[in-house]
Amino acid sequence: MTPITQDVAAARHVRRADYVSCTVAFIDCKKPGSHLKENYSIIGPGVTSSDEQIINLPEAHGFNIGAAAMPHGITNNLHIHFTAEVFIVQRGEWTFRWGSKGENEVTGGPGDILSVPTWIFRGFTNTGPDDGWLFTILGGDNTGGVIFHPDIIREAADYGLYISSENRLVDTSRGDPVPPEEGRIPPMPDADVAALREVSHAEMARRFVQRKDRDFRPGFIDRDLPGGGAQIAPVIGFGITQNREHAAPITNPHGFSAEWLRLEPGQAVGPFALDEKMVLMVHEGRVRLDYVDGGNASVEVDAWDTYSVPGGPMRTLTALGDTPVEILVTVSGDHRKRPTFAPEVIEAARAAGLGLDAGGFVAKASLLPSYRRGG
């Protein structure tokens, strides 16, 4: 494998200052109370309907990373997604609604994560006192766009806004022609709205992983080594943890896994390789990523930044500064991921009494058989 150069490493770093908002991403962009929404497409296009949307990193990952920023009281109206939609609260207080009339609610704060089931109406409002920020993870490279609530589609027409059959926003105030009925998305029939499944508060509560409920435990084979011991708290699916006691609270297929990684000041994890693409969304603190593949590339990733690590190269992650680092790690695929640690890490761990069992989980080395059976 060709070593990662510094230029290539830097190009995969999307800093907070690099995020570019779009205020005309959706059909409700002129609705009072929704007109101050800012939509961001950080990795992949997401579900935007606007040709004006800037995409920071268009490379396919198997999922999309985006964000929404809204002042106090501004609402993103009811709409349906066809693939997974996961909200990560970065700043503020957000009230999430679901149901055919948005009759159900749950409120989250910084560090809380909500995964909303597909094919139900959902929306959200910044109910905090200040400007708020949500990161999002969307399933698939092609999300299929969204279907807005029929009331929103009808009201948007009063402002000269329509959605074409190709999921493009049509704005007649800019001179766009009104698309024919067969060339635009019509309001969903009432019978189809009524037929959508209902999601109870109990079911949604199981898909809401609050900061206070995270289950942090040592995640890797280097847990007893000097400077090791990074902790993982699973959120969605099978991630990169090597701790067999870990169990993600959200288990239905999303097309990706998500788990919190916590590093104490000076703590590091690696070197390790991963076949899949891995995205780091730094929630708090600052981390340095070093590529240990002969190219000597290195990047420092701050809070609010997003970084995409390609599949394959060895890498280490080291906490910088004097405060803990918390990163949401998203990896493509619903399968269990298996990081491969450098031989020197495995040898040092074995000297400290730990090894990996046949399932790839950390175990007491003295209990592991020395034989190998072929298949």
9 token code pair: 């490493």
Tell me the pLDDT tens digit for each residue of 53-96: 999 999 999 999 999 999 999 999 999 999 999 999 999 999 99
Looking at residue 49, its pLDDT comes to 87
Q: How far is 11 from 162, CA to CA, in rounded Å? A: 36
164 token code pair: 């074409």
For residue 363, what pLDDT band results from cuts at 50, 70 and 90?
very high
In the CATH hierarchy, which fold is given to the domain comprising 214-367? Jelly Rolls (2.60.120)
Look up the CATH architecture of domain 17-209. Sandwich (2.60)
Q: How far is 192 from 328, CA to CA, in rounded Å? A: 36
Tell me the pLDDT tens digit for each residue of 177-219: 988 988 988 999 999 999 999 999 999 999 999 999 999 999 9
Burial class (CB in 10 A: 0-12, 13-18, 19+), 121: buried
Looking at residue 71, its pLDDT comes to 95
Candidates 23, 109, 108, 120; CA nearest to 74 is: 23
CA 57 to each of CA 15, 42, 45, 337: distance values in angstroms, whole numbers, following the listed order? 11, 6, 9, 23
Looking at residue 375, its pLDDT comes to 45
Average pLDDT of the segment spanning 225-248: 97
Tell me the pLDDT tens digit for each residue of 267-326: 999 999 999 999 999 999 999 999 999 889 999 999 999 999 999 999 999 999 999 999
Looking at residue 373, its pLDDT comes to 57
Q: Are 330 and 62 in contact (CB under 8 A)?
A: no
DSSP 175-220: TPPPPPGGGBPPPPPHHHHHHSPP--HHHHHTTEE-GGG---EE-S
Q: Are 106 and 208 in contact (CB under 8 A)?
A: yes
For residue 167, what pLDDT band results from cuts at 50, 70 and 90?
confident
CA 100 and chain centroid, separation = 25
Write down the H helix ranges in 122-187. Answer: 150-158
Looking at residue 166, its pLDDT comes to 86
DSSP 21-90: -BS-SSTTTTSTTTTT-EEEEEES-TT---TT--EEE-S--SEEEEEEEE-TT-EEEEEEESS-EEEEEE
Percent of the chain past pLDDT 70, that is, above it, reads 99
For residue 372, what pLDDT band results from cuts at 50, 70 and 90?
low
pTM: 0.95
DSSP 8-class letter at 264: -
Q: Residue 374 pLDDT more than 70?
A: no
Looking at residue 217, its pLDDT comes to 97
Burial class (CB in 10 A: 0-12, 13-18, 19+), 205: exposed
Looking at residue 165, its pLDDT comes to 86
- pLDDT mean across residues, the chain: 95
344: enclosing H helix or E strand: helix 343-351
350: enclosing H helix or E strand: helix 343-351
Tell me the pLDDT tens digit for each residue of 134-147: 999 999 999 999 99
Q: Where are the domains positioned within the chain?
A: 17-209, 214-367
Greater confidence (272 vs 25) lies with 272
Q: Residue 365 pLDDT more than 90?
A: yes
b/e map 132-152, b = 16+ CB within 10 Å: bbbbbbbbbbebebbbbbbeb
